[in-house]
Amino acid sequence: MKVKQNNVESSKAKLEMESVGPLSPHNEALYETGKEMLKGSISTGRDFCKFMITVSTGAIPIYLGLLKFVLPENITLSLSKLFLSVVPPFFFLISAIVFILGYFPQVDYFSLDIINQIKQAYEKTVIKRKKFINFGIILFLIGTVFAIMSIVIHIIR
């Protein structure tokens, strides 16, 4: 579809349609892909949060198991090593909580007759979930770095 814009002496623009034809197969495929991406973006973010809840909570016993494997039976840790040993599970737990907050369904009210309300509700949901995902990933990565440091330091000791 080609659109031609003519200037009118008044401040309004006039649009004339030059030709209208069927969508090409390529453009139709792109349109369908865009529809699927738009529809799936909310559920994809929610599914990612669900997956990361499992990963974050699962990281706690894995880390503690590795720590138990590395440390001797009867050991007294200095305050700094004790702190370093406790920090990773704390970050894993906080990241799981953040992902849980991102997993909650978004409740919003809008009219199906008003496209702008639908668009605003959609964007609000996607942006909110993206913030939770980014913050949760940052916390999880910080916990992972501390876990690696803790294990390495306890091995070297």
Is the model's pTM score more than 0.95? Answer: no
Residue 42 has pLDDT above 80, yes or no: no
Q: Quick check: 63 and 88 in contact, CB under 8 A?
A: yes
Predicted pLDDT at 109:
65
Closest CA to 122 of 47, 35, 39: 39
**Residue at token pair 């953040």:** 98
Domain ranges of the chain: 41-156
CA distance 150 to 134: 24
Sign for the CA dihedral angle at 98, 142, 134, 32 comes to negative
User: What pLDDT does 1 receive?
Assistant: 47
Looking at mean pLDDT, say which of 59-68, 88-97, 126-135 comes out highest: 88-97
Q: How far apart are CA 129 and CA 118, in angstroms?
A: 17
Put residue 131 in one of left, alpha, beta given phi > 0 → left and psi -120 to 50 → alpha. Answer: alpha
> Would you call 13 helix, strand, or coil by DSSP?
strand
The structure tokens listed for 34 are 């865009």
Host H or E run for residue 5: strand 2-7
Range of lowest pLDDT (42-51, 53-62, 105-114, 122-131) = 105-114
